[in-house]
Amino acid sequence: MYRDLLNKTVVEIKPSGIRRFFDLANTKKGVLSLGVGEPDFATPWNVCESAIYSIKAKHTHYTANAGLLSLRTELSHYLRKRYDLHYSPNKEMIITVGGSEAIDIALRAIINSGDEVIILEPAYVAYEPAVRLAGGVPVFIELKAENQFKLTKEELLEKITDKTKAIIINFPSNPTGGIMNKEDYEPLIPIIKEHRLIVISDEIYAELNYSSKHCSPAVFPEIRDLVVLISGFSKAFAMTGWRLGYLCANSIFVEQMLKIHQYIIMSAPTAAQYGAIEGLRNGQKYVDEMIVQYKQRRNLLVSRLNEIGLPTHMPEGAFYVFPCIKHTGLTSLEFCERLLEEQNVACVPGSAFGNAGEGYIRISYAYSIDEIKMALAKIEIFMEQFKKAN
């Protein structure tokens, strides 16, 4: 009755088609879940302790809008050392409330009504609504499994129009685990430069790259100032609940994005910022240990899924595998619903990530090896029973 009073764009955002499945999976008892999108590790204790100490020391006020300068300085060192990225802590960085806020303010600062923004599917679910809420028009590129879900030059060229303002990329990718290397980016750089495309690069899984060093598109000098680099502490430092992210871009972009941030958010949580400083200074050994464990779990998962008869390519990043279920003849939602109903195992249907995800399911390995083994045993029973019945 009051819907007419609401903002049209908000009302028109489709509730996810798989909401019902999610609600069921989240409320059902005794579920063995492989469905989470956050690390199972606890935040390293030195990070927690630093945040607790900051509260005891009464650092309980707002910080500078862009975040504590000491955190930005530490971040600038970290980005240079880890990824060969060069950003000024003073003018080219904002500490945000998670990567999510960074995505939002970046889009709002660049989009004029009707601008097109290219999104790569399968995609993290927040990109499309974020573009729409900013007044943009999402345009989708369906990435292909045979290209290991990488973006090709031809795919990009096909979707560029005179209204294209930006492209959102996310490598390592949720949900496919796909990555882009330097060689994969090279053919795209001249196109991005020629069309002056703003590249919103969500690199939240950058630390979780198992085959090579993560490559950001911002390392290419030709397009460095067209890139808005977004990342955060959630995945690398197992800090999802702390809600701390960051955004790096050229100073002209940052100046405008900071306006939105300062009026809407003021500043990111102070205790979390102190924790993050400690994470950047002394946390790498814990991150490295998590990477070793993720890689071991991934290897086990991919080997077993292929044995079970769910073709799965070896993803090179993030903590997801993306097995193909097309041969079962079921949709990804049907597959996940039946798996939940018959074996009490929860995975995420690929269709949650757009049309290009249909025919796949997302399995997370943010679980211990024993939990993964137990879930795999149940998936195996499910597949055997399915084969017998069909």
Partner 1 sequence: MEKELLALIEKNAKRDIKDLAAILQESEFSVWSTLTELEKNKVINGYHTIINWDKANVDRVTAVIDVTCQPERDFGYDRIASMIYAYPEVDTMYLMSGKTEFSVVVEGRTMQDISNFVGSKLAVVEGVTGTSTNFILKQYKKNGVIFADTDEEEDDRIQVSI
Structure tokens at 181: 């290397």
Give residues 254-293 in contact with partner 1 (rule: CB under 8 A): 292
User: Residue 148 or residue 164: which is nearer to partner 1 going by CB?
Assistant: 148
Q: What are phi and psi of 381, to 5 degrees?
A: -60, -45
Matching residue, tokens 């939105």: 260
3-state secondary structure of 338: helix
CA distance 120 to 354: 9
Shortest spacing between CB 346 and partner 1, in angstroms: 5
Give residues 302-321 in contact with partner 1 (rule: CB under 8 A): 303-304
> For the window 16-55, what string marks contact with partner 1 as x by the rule CB under 8 A?
------x--xx-x--x-x-xxxx-x---------------
User: Residue 35 or residue 177: which is nearer to partner 1 going by CB?
Assistant: 35
For the chain, the first-to-last Cα distance in angstroms comes to: 47
- Specify the length of the chain in residues: 390
Judged on CB neighbours under 10 Å (0-12, 13-18, 19+), 36 is middle
CA distance 208 to 291: 6
Give residues 128-157 in contact with partner 1 (rule: CB under 8 A): none
Of the candidate residues 54, 174, 201, 267, the single one contacting partner 1 (CB under 8 A): 174
User: Residue 256 or residue 293: which is nearer to partner 1 going by CB?
Assistant: 293
User: Residue 87 or residue 360: which is nearer to partner 1 going by CB?
Assistant: 360
70-79 core/surface letters (b: 16 or more CB in 10 A; e: else): ebbbbbbebb
CA distance 332 to 296: 26
Q: Let me know: does 166 contact 110? Beta carbons within 8 Å.
A: yes
User: Residue 108 or residue 304: which is nearer to partner 1 going by CB?
Assistant: 304
Of the candidate residues 141, 227, 348, 375, the single one contacting partner 1 (CB under 8 A): 348
Q: Candidates 127-135, 184-192, 247-255, 345-353: pick the segment binding partner 1 (CB under 8 A).
A: 345-353
Structure tokens at 296: 């071991």
Of the candidate residues 131, 167, 215, 352, the single one contacting partner 1 (CB under 8 A): 352
User: Residue 112 or residue 303: which is nearer to partner 1 going by CB?
Assistant: 303
| Residues at the interface with partner 1 (CB under 8 A) | 22, 25-26, 28, 31, 33, 35-38, 40, 124-125, 174, 292, 296-297, 299-300, 303-304, 346, 348, 352-353, 369, 373
